[in-house]
Amino acid sequence: MIISLPAALGAAVLFGVASALQAYAARTEPPGSGLRGLLRVVLRLPYLLGLGCDLAGFAAEIVALRGLPLFAVQAAVAGSLAVTAVVAVPLLSARLSSNEWIAVAGVCVGLASIGVSAGAEGTPTVGGAFRWGLVVATGLLIVAALAASRLPSRARCTALGLAGGLGFGIVAIAARILPDLAPAHLVRDPAAYLVIVAGVTAFASFTTALQTGAVAAATAALVLGESVVPSAVGVLLLGDTTRAGYWPVAAGGFALAVVSAVLLARFGEPA
C-alpha cells in the first residue's frame, strides 16, 4: 500500500504527460499527410518521449495493481486526463474553461477520496476457469471491435472507444491476477499473453476511433470502459475491499473521479 498508491498516482501523471507530448508531436504534421506523415510524427522526439512515459506508466500501473484494489488503480488511470489537460496549457497553448478547471479539481478530490478509503487488494489467486474466461472475453472483444469498425461513423467512434477501454480493462485484470512476475511463470500463464493481445486490441481500437475526429465521444467511452468494468470485476470476483466503514467515501470518490474525467474528455474535441 505504501508503494502502490504513489505508483498509481505516478502512472496517472506519466500517462497524462505522454498524451500531451504525443498531441504536441502530432500538431507538427499537417492533416491528411498519410502514412509518411504518421511515421514522421512517431519518430519525432516528443512522441518518443511520450512513448517512454507510456511504458513507464504501465510499469507503475503493474506495481500499483500488486497492492491496491482495481477500482483505485483504474480511477487513477482515468484521472490521467486531468494531467493531460493541465500539461496542455503551457505545452499546446491551450486554454481551459472554468468548468474544465472544476473537472480537474473533481478528479483530484475523487482520487484523494479513493486513496483515503481504499483497503487491501483481494487475493490474486484465481482458478483456470477465470483465466480462460478472460481469454474468451478477449476473443469476443476482438470480434466486437472488428464489427464496430463497420458501423456508421458516429456509432463507430463510440463503439471503438468503448472497445479500447474494455481492452485496457482486460490488461489491468490480467496483470492483477498474475501471482508471479518471474519469466518462467509468465510463459505458462495465459493472463501474461492477454496483457499483450488485449493491449494491442485496445490501442488499435482507440486509434481507429480517433480517426473519425470525434475525440470527446471516443475518449469518454474509453474512460468508462477502462474504469467501471474492471473495477466491478475486482469488487465482485477478486475480493477488492475498502477500509472498514469507508465504502461510501470510496464509491463517491470513484464516481466523482470518473465523471470528472468523462467531462474532461471534451477538452480534446477539435474546434
- Report the C-alpha gap between 140 and 168 in whole angstroms: 14
Res 122 pLDDT > 70: no
Res 271 pLDDT > 80: no
Q: How large a percentage of the chain has pLDDT more than 90? A: 15
Please compute the mean of the pLDDT values over residues 176-181 and round it to a whole number: 80
Please compute the mean of the pLDDT values over residues 72-100 and round it to a whole number: 83
Contact yes or no for 94/27 (Cβ under 8 A): no
pLDDT for the residue 10: 93
Kindly report the length of the chain.
271
Which amino acid would we find at residue 76? A
Which amino acid would we find at residue 9? L
Domain segments of the chain: what residues? 1-121+243-271, 123-239
pLDDT for the residue 136: 93
pLDDT for the residue 152: 79
Q: How confident is the model at residue 151 (pLDDT cuts 50, 70, 90)?
A: confident
Distance of CA 257 to the CA centre of its chain: 13
pLDDT for the residue 142: 95
- For residue 258, which of 234, 235, 226, 233 has the smallest C-alpha distance? 226
Residues facing 141 on adjacent strands:
none
Res 56 pLDDT > 90: yes
3-state secondary structure the chain: CCCHHHHHHHHHHHHHHHHHHHHHHHCCCCCCCHHHHHHHHHCCHHHHHHHHHHHHHHHHHHHHHCCCCHHHHHHHHHCHHHHHHHHHHHHCCCCCCHHHHHHHHHHHHHHHHHHHHECCCCCCCCCHHHHHHHHHHHHHHHHHHHHHCCCCHHHHHHHHHHHHHHHHHHHHHHHHCCCCCCHHHHCCCHHHHHHHHHHHHHHHHHHHHHCCCCHHHHHHHHHHHHHHHHHHHHHHHCCCCECCCCHHHHHHHHHHHHHHHHHHHHHHCCC
Contact yes or no for 2/44 (Cβ under 8 A): no
Give the pLDDT confidence of 158-167 residue by residue, as tens digits: 888 899 899 9
